[in-house]
Amino acid sequence: MSEEKAVILEAGDDAPLFTLPSDRGEDVVLKSFRNQKNVVLYFYPKDSTPGCTTEACDFRDSSAALEKLDTIVLGVSKDSVASHKRFVEKQTLNFPLLSDENGEICKAYGVYQLKKNYGREYMGIVRSTFIIGKNGKLIEAIYGVKVKGHIDKVLSLIQAV
C-alpha cells in the first residue's frame, strides 16, 4: 500500500474551500459563511458507529452554546448522502452532514491517513476538528480527536477568540 504524505494544517492557515452535498439535499459552500459565522468542521470515520454517534450528539446537544458564539457545525465523512440522512434522522441531528465520497476534501484537510488497527493497516479518516474563523482562517486544527470532553475543548477555543 502506498502511503501518501498527509497535509497537516495549522492555526492561521487558510481553510481549504469546498462545496459538498449535504443530507439536506443541497450543496454546502464553505465560502458562504465567510464574514458571517465561525465554522466547526469535524471529520469522522463512519455514520452510526459508537464514537461517531457520541461525537455528533455532543455537537447536537451544544447547539445553543455554539449559536451564542455565532458558530455553526458541519460534519464530514466519506459516507453517502443517503447514509447521512438515516444518521441525522435516527439521532435528530440539528446540523448538516456533508458527503465527501471521493475523499478530496478529506485529503485537502489532511485527515485521510494511514491507520493501524489490530495489526491491520488501511487508509481512513482520522477523527479531526477544524475551527474556522469568520475570516476563513483556521483558529485551531485538532487531529486525532478523543471524543470524551471534546465539545468542551471546542467551546473553550471558540470563546477565547
C-alpha cell at 15: 481553510
Q: Is the dihedral of CA 147, 148, 151, 154 positive or negative?
A: negative
What sections of 26-149 are H helices per DSSP? 50-61, 63-68, 81-91, 104-108
Catalytic pick among 15, 52, 151, 158: 52
In the sheet that holds 128-132, the strands lie side by side as 97-99, 71-77, 38-43, 128-132, 138-143
| CA pair distance 85, 99, nearest whole angstrom | 10
| 39, 30 contact by CB (below 8 A) | yes
52 is annotated as an active-site residue: yes
* Residues designated as active site: 52
